[in-house]
Amino acid sequence: MLNTTLRRLGATAALGLLASASALAAPTLRYVLAMPAPQTHYFEVEMQLSGFSGRSTDVKMPVWAPGSYLVREFAKNVEGFTAQAGGKQLQVDKINKNTWRITHQGQKDFTVRYRVYANELSVRTSFVDASHGYLNGTSVFMYPEGQKQLPAQVEVRPFEGWKEVSTSLKPATQAGPSFTFLSSNYDELADSPIEIGNHKVLSFDVNGTPHRIAMYGQASYDEQRVVADFKRICETAQKVVGQNPLDRYLFIVHNLERGGGGLEHLYSTTLEVSRNAYTTPAGYEGILGLAAHEYFHLWNVKRIRPIALGPFDYDKENYTHMLWMSEGGTEYFSNLIVQRAGFQKPQQYLDQLATGITRVENTPGNRMQSAAEASWDAWIKYYRPNENSPNSTISYYDKGEVIGAVLDLMVINATKGQKSLDDVMRYLYDQYYKKLGRGFTDAEYQDAVAKVAGRRFDEFFQQSVYGTKRLDYEGALGYAGLRLATATGSDASLGASVSTSTGKAVVSTVLRDGSAWQGGLNTGDEIVAVDGMRPPTDIVQSLAARPVGSSVRLLVTRDGQLRELTIPLLASTTTRYRIEMAPEASPEQLVVRRKWLQLPQ
């Protein structure tokens, strides 16, 4: 159409039309990622910006990584930021902690270059050394402000001798040693971690969708078993919502000395696991549970999400009361997925849930902070714990998991075994992700539960989710013909934790209202004597054998001074829980139990 028009116009008019078309052309963006000296822990980034009009352009680095709710100030690792156009340096001014202003008046095409120091190997940060490179987009790639919607090309130039690049970004070309990928916008680029090196790649399909596992690090594992078991986990997870949103998926697995959890992404995840975990039943089951958790985030968080969690504001905190559902609810479903996939027997699952109840109910902070408050304050509390955190906070992972179990049983019971939280997830997926293309509000989540259950649970949400009232475990489990058995400790308890990792006995936590709390023992105190004698190897365990009501004299050092404290030994308040199947369960209770645990008739 343009060529035909040009033939009809004079030269001057044609040039004017071309100039106008050029002015209207959308800007383009291309990244080049290199790591020429990986042992120094630097990524080198080049941004090629074309078609950017105006006097100046602001380029920004995110301050946090979605899925990990802490402002991490990624701009602190940026060095050597420059901008050039036509071989000449452009003026660059850093206008705040994470924004660089490039003055390019008259120059629509220019190039930005900078280095990123990457020496923190975690699922939420970036790292490069002589063995491999790994990055999360928010800690390496910048974006032009107001242009997050721009598609981009990403060329990765691996270090010499590195042959593999694994990412969920769609491939464009591979020219020689370079790999080029496409991102549809910045959100996708930020949400697509990249593993670079000589790692092993395993593959399998789930319902026609290709899945890959990028295995970094040495570990003793059976490849066929890992592939088969990951496949079972993925197949089982897809059955919860019943709709597969994928055309590809990538697990990046870092096999390290110590595991470090996982982080979810739109078409991928990164898992950090202990390289020794594959060799023990509990360790291997833990790997499968972590894979199930991060994989289920494909639905819960990445597509079924609170309204605050997307589109993201990368400059500041994105607050929500719903992390108990997004993270704790995902933990609830991931444990069910492991059981439904046949890796656990029903009683093993119940034992795991009972352990979760024990953990929540024996945390003093559970009576101080609600699940909704824990979600909202994740930015300042969950990722920044201190010695008093057990007394003042509760994990939205732990509390959300047990809320999920209780709420699921309430829904199943209300519908006489016809519906469950699976159906709530399906409704949220259809209504908000597919139909409305947005997240849901707190009230809309409660409405969704009510729609599926056929009744409202407003009092439950108000008192036990937004408040700190104890969950009615007994009532919920009773719907399924299950009993919650308890055992309360009768031994004496110091009510504190003591660390000996440095060769000294140092108090690390003091629990609210316990013996140490009442006796004035402080965190940071070094215990140098117990009743005039050198402290035993395990102080807490040795004091448990003493009579309740007796006392102990502790000599401690605090701020370089000796102090003697007399600590009254109170009885342990720890309650341990166990879930038991009642043999006399009614037919109605068995219907609920079978629905919940997906047991055969």
User: Which residues does 470 contact at the CB level (< 8 Å), separation at least 6?
Assistant: 361, 464
Backbone angles phi, psi at 171, to 5 degrees: -75, 145
Can you give the pLDDT at residue 24?
A: 55
User: Which residues does 561 contact at the CB level (< 8 Å), separation at least 6?
Assistant: none
CA dihedral 54, 56, 62, 66 (to 10 degrees): 0
> In the structure, what pLDDT confidence band is assigned to residue 31 with cuts at 50, 70 and 90?
very high
Say which CATH architecture domain 492-571 belongs to.
Roll (2.30)
Residues 447-471: tens digit of each pLDDT: 999 999 999 999 999 999 999 999 9
User: What CATH number should be reported for the domain whose range is 299-484?
Assistant: 1.10.390.10
Residues 364-386: tens digit of each pLDDT: 999 999 999 999 999 999 999 99
Can you give the pLDDT at residue 251?
A: 98
Side chain identity at residue 237, one-letter code: A
Residues 561-575: tens digit of each pLDDT: 999 999 999 999 999
What average pLDDT score do residues 105-115 get?
95
For a pLDDT cut of 90, what percent of the chain falls above it? 93
Residues 11-24: tens digit of each pLDDT: 444 444 444 444 45
As a whole number, the mean pLDDT across the chain is 94
> Omega of the bond prior to 171 within 30 degrees of 0, cis?
no
- Number of helices (H) and strands (E) in the chain: give both, helices first: 18, 30
Can you give the pLDDT at residue 173?
A: 74
Structural domain boundaries in the chain: 28-198, 199-280, 299-484, 492-571
The two beta strands, 249-256 and 209-216, are parallel
Helix (H/G/I), strand (E/B), else coil: 222 = coil
Can you give the pLDDT at residue 174?
A: 67
Q: How far is CA 40 from CA 82, 127, 547, in A?
A: 20, 10, 58
- What spatial distance separates the first Cα and last Cα of the chain, rounded to whole Å? 67
Helix H or strand E encompassing 373: helix 371-376
Read off the pTM: 0.93
Decide if pLDDT at 213 tops 90. Answer: yes
Contact indicator for 360, 332 with CB cutoff of 8 Å: no
Give the separation between CA 452 and CA 418, rounded to whole angstroms: 10
Question: Candidates 3.40.50.880, 3.30.1180.10, 3.40.50.300, 3.30.2010.30; correct CATH number of 199-280?
Answer: 3.30.2010.30
Can you give the pLDDT at residue 19?
A: 44
User: What CATH number should be reported for the domain whose range is 28-198?
Assistant: 2.60.40.3650
Give the separation between CA 175 and CA 484, rounded to whole angstroms: 62
Helix (H/G/I), strand (E/B), else coil: 379 = helix
Angle in degrees, 0-180, between the axes of helices 396-414 and 587-597, rounded to the nearest 10: 130
